[in-house]
Amino acid sequence: MSDTLHHIINGNPANDHTYDAIVIGSGISGGWAAKELCEKGLKTLVLERGRPIEHIKDYPTMAAQKWELAHRGWIPQKQRNENPLIAKAAGYGEDTAHFFVKDADQPYIQEKPFDWIRGYQVGGKSLIWGRSCQRWSDWDFSSPLRNGYATDWPIRYNDIAPWYSHAEKFIGVCGTRENIESMPDGEFLPAMEFNAVEKHFKQTIWDKYQRHYIPGRWAHITEPQPIHTQQGRGQCMNRDLCMRGCPYGGYFSSVTSTLPWAAKTGNLTLRPHSVVHSIIYDEKKQKATGVRVIDANTKDATEYFARIIFVNASALNSNLILLNSVSNRFPNGLGNDSGVLGKYICFHNYRGSMNSRFEGFDDHYYKVKRAAECVIPNFRNLKKKETDFTGGYVIFSGAYRERMHYNDVEGIGAALKEKLSAPGPWGMYMYMQGETIPKASNEVRLSKDQQDAYGMPFLITNVGYDENDDKMVADFLTQGKEMFEAAGGKDIQVRDSHQPPGLDIHEMGGVRMGKDPATSMLNGFNQLHHCPNVFVTDGACMTSTGNQSPSILYMAFTARAVNHAVEQLNKHNL
């Protein structure tokens, strides 16, 4: 993080606490809000509940070899026992644990099993995200209306497409132009290449099923453009150590990209260790005027004020803050005249996965690790419902060559070492990312009698799977196995993990967008219907989940919302 970022604790003069805009959260969407607001000249305060992080300085394991880690990267059993929830998270290990929240530090109440994966630090989960950047299509935006669930989105693809481009050009997204209706093309840097087995698989499933197998669209700089070098970022080196923190800035995070960019304007104030308690609503002015903050270290309360507020605390925390923002006007949470705040929580279904062995490619290898995967775009229920479940799924996949294992070779000394250094067999994997259908019964709410260390109510999660999810998993396992078999896969192993919701780390909803204020919280520009100077542009705003990864959509939503907010400020409408 640039040294020019201004950290304050409790300024005494009243004007130290007044800004043009306040952003709650410094992760993927919060960083984008800061960048866009500061670029447009607004004095902006970013509140982050976690510790400060500086690029490179605070990446303690970024260059460590496995033998330099105390447990060779494995999680010690004691640490696993103390953190049974977070230890299940993708990417969590001895080399990345410093970017994940420990179980005991931030408790919550699970009425149904829900694994809430969090990263409380400047940059939030942008330091540990998967970096997948597929665009939504009109099929995703129109699905609730076509299939009769949730509520209709107030926007369509054409409304957000220019903002996708805006975000992609800045962060750097690699990929290929494929002209696939269900997965629109974007502004791409050169894609990461297929290996031999992936090329074979691509040809097979196209010939047999007319299904696409494409390089994924990933937030990795494969060929730096001037906008990236201006950010001080370099090319992805294919180390595949992304979640440790990338010293090259090869993948996008708030810490390497949006926050330093915002800081260069001179308009940014960043305050870490700031737990947002609630948003202040002025009943005479009929708008929000600021936020109440609890200092994470001292537990002292402070208030900050601004003309507009962006809520980007991550989906469930954004729900928590709005639910806790009560007043005479809004006794059930800020803007919650509809009663849907905290309801229609949804997520992505990752339960299905499989592996297969491939023969006949022993004369092929690949030279580098690759920090990306291949993608099979959704092929289910696009133009019409053709299965016994609603929605569809994207498949992530890749082929790899294993190392030889000492149990598989004979010999001693140099002969054994030589055999062990030879490449092992080829394998390939798939896993699903499935749409889930938002339901009012999937909800979060506040505890009435239990509080955390900051005097805030515990969040209660009541979120689970349904029959539609089970049918989708079964379909993926059938279709995936058939595709492996068609390509000559051997020893195919299919799995339904039955993992609780939450491990996908794509929690969404609760503050959904919609056309009707009676059934939704936000309008088409992410404004609260009943408190329009408050914007929510993280996962909480989602009306449905689609089947594409959502983070690039949050960036686009945020940039579009800031543009609208500033236009409205200039017209004195906020």
In SS3 terms, 269-318 reads as: EEECCEEEEEEEEECCCCEEEEEEEEECCCCCEEEEEEEEEEECCCHHHH
* Residue 2 placed within a domain: no
Residues 379 and 234 in one domain: no
What backbone torsions phi and psi does residue 317 show, to the nearest 5 degrees?
-65, -35
Residues 429 and 288 in one domain: no
pLDDT at 73: 87
Residues 284 and 329 in one domain: yes
What backbone torsions phi and psi does residue 19 show, to the nearest 5 degrees?
-135, 170
For the chain, which ranges sit under pLDDT 50?
Answer: 1-14
Q: Of 56, 22, 60, give the one whose Cα is nearest residue 42.
A: 22
Q: Of 237, 242, 240, 205, give the one whose Cα is nearest residue 224.
A: 237
Residues 386 and 362 in one domain: yes
Residues 416 and 428 in one domain: yes
Domain around 390: 179-215+350-434+465-499
Residues 306-345: b if buried by 16+ CB within 10 A, e if exposed: bbbbbbbbbbbbbbbbbbbbbeeebeebbbbbbebbbbbb
Residues 211 and 315 in one domain: no
Residues 166 and 187 in one domain: no
Q: What is the DSSP letter of 476?
A: H
Q: Of 434, 546, 439, 572, give the one whose Cα is nearest residue 160.
A: 546
pLDDT at 6: 39
* Residue 91 placed within a domain: no
Rounded CA separation 22/107 (Å): 26
Would you say 6 and 270 are in contact if contact means Cβ atoms under 8 Å apart? yes
Helix (H, G, I), strand (E, B) or coil at 201: helix
Residues 403 and 524 in one domain: no
* Residue 15 placed within a domain: yes
**What's the token pair of residue 260?**
């330093």
Q: What CATH number has the domain bearing residue 243?
A: 3.50.50.60
Residues 205 and 253 in one domain: no
pLDDT at 419: 66
pLDDT at 15: 60
Rounded alpha-carbon distances, angstroms, from residue 459 to 184, 248, 322, 323: 37, 37, 12, 10
pLDDT at 136: 97
Residues 391 and 404 in one domain: yes
How many domains does the chain divide into? Answer: 2
* Residue 60 placed within a domain: no
Rounded CA separation 24/278 (Å): 10
The one-letter amino acid code at 113 reads P
pLDDT tens profile 147-165? 999 999 999 999 999 999 9
* Residue 333 placed within a domain: yes
Residues 313 and 372 in one domain: no
* Residue 64 placed within a domain: no
Rounded CA separation 351/502 (Å): 11
What backbone torsions phi and psi does residue 310 show, to the nearest 5 degrees?
-110, 125
Would you say 353 and 432 are in contact if contact means Cβ atoms under 8 Å apart? yes
pTM: 0.94
Rounded CA separation 69/559 (Å): 40
* Residue 490 placed within a domain: yes
Residues 491 and 570 in one domain: no
pLDDT at 141: 97
Q: How close are the terminal C-alpha atoms of the chain, in Å?
A: 32
Rounded alpha-carbon distances, angstroms, from residue 483 to 89, 386, 428, 466, 552: 28, 19, 12, 26, 29
Rounded CA separation 510/39 (Å): 30
